[in-house]
Amino acid sequence: MNVMLIGGGGREHAIAKYVAKNPKVENFYALPGNGGISKFAECVNISAEDIDGIVNFAKNNSIDFAIVAPDDPLALGAVDRLEAEGVKCFGPDKNAAIIESSKIFAKDLMTKNNIPTAKYKIFTKIDEALSYVATSDCPIVIKADGLAKGKGVTVAENFGQAREAVMSCMKDKTFGKSGEKILIEECLRGPEVTVLAFTDGKTIVPMISSMDHKRAYDGNKGPNTGGMGVVAPNFYYTDEIAEECMKKIFIPTINAMNSEGRKFKGCLYFGLMLTKDGPKVIEYNCRFGDPEAEAVLPLLDTDLFEIMLAVRDERLNEIDIKFKNMSSCCVVLVSNGYPGHYLTGYEIDFGLNKNSEKISGVDVFHSGTIREGNKFLTSGGRVLAVNAVAEDLSSAREKAYEAVKEINFEGMRYRTDIGAN
Ligand code: AMP
Ligand code: GLY
């Protein structure tokens, strides 16, 4: 088969590694891909947001199957356009991707269907939003409705921060149209859990749970980022909680999307908080998390591409999906300054072994790199996601940090406490 993967981050590197293993995959392309992905797929310089470019490439190269991994092309309807050309896809259509691209849609869906989530109010007028925060207790959470590259959420500790967040969305239009409408939410407390799930709209199969580390610095300090590291499984997520989530959150979400006429096919991301009143949904994403994918997919013990084909053809019930009884620890190496301003173009030194992957069970997934001859240069805020798999979390942690020590580039920074608490 001719297969195309859309995207170019660490998540796509992990997907590419496992998809490339399937013998059905003959010609494999990544649009745009990155330095690491080029080991598994031919990288084509077409952006993940260039839907016309993607569709033309698929037609010109007789693509049979496409994996659309990032949120932007999913929200822009890449799957709808490709399927209309006869290209089978893994990923939700635009109608279903709205579960991530509109937080207001997601909140209304949960309210209508009694799916537990934080209490909220929607605002379209700046003065009403400001008077609401002035009379609310802090902390309080301000969210832009639309996609905002993971930066549209502020957990405001005081009125000043809440006011600033409202002004940033609605007056300064920091997130453009995405911030025209905002949500103001009750602040939930408790450990956070990510559960990624394969679903074809009929069957839902949760993967091993994980824990992202969103804050930039050790001790969960500093600004929110796309994710600085992950452990899987998440030690707070017991079998009992998993059962409760299946009953009260996962199945009701699939049923709710079906009854809205928005069948969801692909990977559905549940961002959960385990509150003292039980698990509640913080957010849905319509795709694999990044860096969650880099930690969870190495634990998958069933062929990823076969699962993707089954999801597309709505026969997920025929596949027995298994996970290794092991743990992952993934440490993200970022450019100095991330998530704010940073410089790129620095050569990456993979150490004396030339490759930390020589340590068994370690993968060095490329998030933001480009290849120049035999060299790899930094090209993003998140540069590498170093994941180690071992029998238990503490050995996985040890191994991941051992691998990190081999790697260096100008301005390299990472958290030293992934999985430590
Ligand atoms: P999101 O961009 O939706 O993933 O949100 C980013 C982060 O903000 C989440 O991972 C949580 O840590 C935090 N957050 C979002 N909503 C809430 C909430 N209602 N209560 C407390 N924290 C929240
Ligand atoms: N790691 C969070 C996300 O992918 O949205």
> pLDDT of 16-75, one tens digit each?
999 999 999 999 999 999 999 999 999 999 999 999 999 999 999 999 999 999 999 999
Torsion of CA 94, 98, 101, 103, to 10 degrees: 180
**Does residue 299 contact residue 328 with C-beta atoms inside 8 Å?**
yes
- List, for the chain, all residue ranges whose pLDDT scores fall below the cut of 50: none
pLDDT for the residue numbered 149? 76
DSSP 3-state of 303: coil
CA atoms of 369 and 56, how far apart (whole Å): 26
In this structure, are strands 153-156 and 192-199 parallel, antiparallel, or unpaired? unpaired
Would the CB of 9 count as within 6 Å of ligand 2?
A: no
Q: Is 165 helix (H, G, I), strand (E, B) or coil?
A: helix
Assess whether the C-beta atom of 285 lies below 6 angstroms from ligand 2.
Answer: yes
144 lines ligand 1 (CB under 6 A): no
Whose atoms come closest to the Cα of 150: which ligand?
A: 1
Closest among 4, 178, 202, 200 to 92, alpha carbons compared: 200
Q: What is the pTM of this model?
A: 0.95
Q: What are the distances in angstroms from CA 43 to CA 4, 18, 92?
A: 10, 16, 23
| Nearest-angstrom CA–CA distance, 261 and 247 | 21
Cα distances (angstroms) measured from residue 269 to each of 80, 200, 207, 323, 328? 20, 14, 10, 18, 18
DSSP lists the bridge partners of residue 234 as none
Ligand 2 probe mutation, 71, 209, 269, most atoms within 8 A of CB: 269
- From the CA of 283, give the closest atom in ligand 2: 5
Q: How far apart are CA 39 and CA 185, in angstroms?
A: 44
Q: Give the whole-angstrom CA distance, residue 1 versus residue 30.
A: 14
Handedness of CA 92, 252, 288, 382 (dihedral sign): positive
Is the distance from the beta carbon of residue 227 to the nearest atom of ligand 2 less than 6 Å? yes
Query: Which atom of ligand 2 is nearest to 11's Cα?
Result: 4
- What distance in angstroms lies between residue 142's CA and the mean position of ligand 1's atoms? 9
Ligand 1 nearest-atom number relative to CA 148: 2
Cα distances (angstroms) measured from residue 118 to each of 52, 90, 111 = 38, 30, 10
Helix (H, G, I), strand (E, B) or coil at 106: helix
DSSP conformational letter for 408: B
Q: Are 333 and 381 in contact (CB under 8 A)?
A: no
pLDDT of residue 354: 61
What pLDDT score was predicted for residue 353?
Answer: 55
Residue nearest to atom 7 of ligand 1 (CA): 153
* Residue nearest (by alpha carbon) to ligand 2 atom 3: 289
